[in-house]
Amino acid sequence: MNLQTLALAFMAATAIGGLAWVFLYPMLSGERQAEQRRASFARSEPIARRSDRVQRTRRQQVEASLKDVENRHKQSKKIPLTNRISQAGLSWTMRQFVIISVAMGVSCFLVVLLMGGGLLPSAAFGFAAGFGAPRWFLGYMKKRRELKFLEGLPDAVDIIVRGIKAGLPLFDSIKLVAADSQEPVRGEFAAIVETQAIGMPLGDACARLYERMPVAEANFFGIVISIQQTAGGNLSEALGNLSKVLRDRKKMKAKIKAMSMEAKASAAIIGSLPPVIMLALYALNPGYISLLWTTPMGRLMLLASAVWMTIGVLVMRKMINFDF
**What secondary structure, in 3-state letters, does the chain show?**
CHHHHHHHHHHHHHHHHHHHHHHCHHHHHCHHHHHHHHHHHHHHHHHHHHHHHHHHHHHHHHHHHHHHHHHHHHHCCCCCHHHHHHHCCCCCCHHHHHHHHHHHHHHHHHHHHHCCCCHHHHHHHHHHHHHHHHHHHHHHHHHHHHHHHHHHHHHHHHHHHHHHHCCCCHHHHHHHHHHHCCCCHHHHHHHHHHHHHCCCCHHHHHHCHHHHCCCHHHHHHHHHHHHHHHHCCCHHHHHHHHHHHHHHHHHHHHHHHHHHHHHHHHHHHHHHHHHHHHHHHHHHCHHHHCHHHHCHHHHHHHHHHHHHHHHHHHHHHHHHCCCC
- pLDDT on residue 44: 45
- The torsion angles phi and psi of 241, rounded to 5 degrees, stand at -65, -40
Residue 298 lies inside a defined structural domain of this protein: yes
- pLDDT on residue 112: 81
Task: Tell me the C-alpha distance between 21 and 17, whole Å.
Answer: 6
Residue 268 lies inside a defined structural domain of this protein: yes
- pLDDT on residue 271: 82
- Label residue 199 left, alpha or beta by phi (over 0 means left) and psi (-120 to 50 means alpha): left
* Dihedral (Cα; 52, 58, 60, 66), 10-degree rounding: -150
Residue 208 lies inside a defined structural domain of this protein: no
State how far Cα 300 lies from the chain centre. 47
Residue type, 287: G
pTM: 0.62
State how far Cα 234 lies from the chain centre. 21
Residue 269 lies inside a defined structural domain of this protein: yes
- pLDDT on residue 45: 44
Residue 291 lies inside a defined structural domain of this protein: yes
Q: In the listed set 20, 50, 75, which residue is the last one of a domain according to the structure?
A: 75
Q: What's the pLDDT tens digit per position in 61-89?
A: 555 555 555 555 555 556 777 878 887 77
CA 146-160-174 angle, 5° bins:
70
Residue 93 lies inside a defined structural domain of this protein: no
Total domains, the chain: 2
- pLDDT on residue 30: 54
- pLDDT on residue 315: 84
Q: In the listed set 60, 75, 90, which residue is the last one of a domain according to the structure?
A: 75
Task: Tell me the C-alpha distance between 175 and 194, whole Å.
Answer: 10
Residue 179 lies inside a defined structural domain of this protein: no
- pLDDT on residue 262: 79
Which residues of the chain register pLDDT less than 70? 1-78, 117, 232-233, 322-324
What's the farthest any 2 CA atoms get from each other in the chain? 155
Task: Tell me the C-alpha distance between 206 and 242, whole Å.
Answer: 14
Let me know: does 289 contact 302? Beta carbons within 8 Å: no
Residue 262 lies inside a defined structural domain of this protein: yes
Q: What's the pLDDT tens digit per position in 26-41?
A: 555 555 565 666 555 4
Task: Tell me the C-alpha distance between 102 and 109, whole Å.
Answer: 11
Q: In the listed set 11, 40, 75, which residue is the last one of a domain according to the structure?
A: 75
* Residues spanned by the domain of 29: 2-75
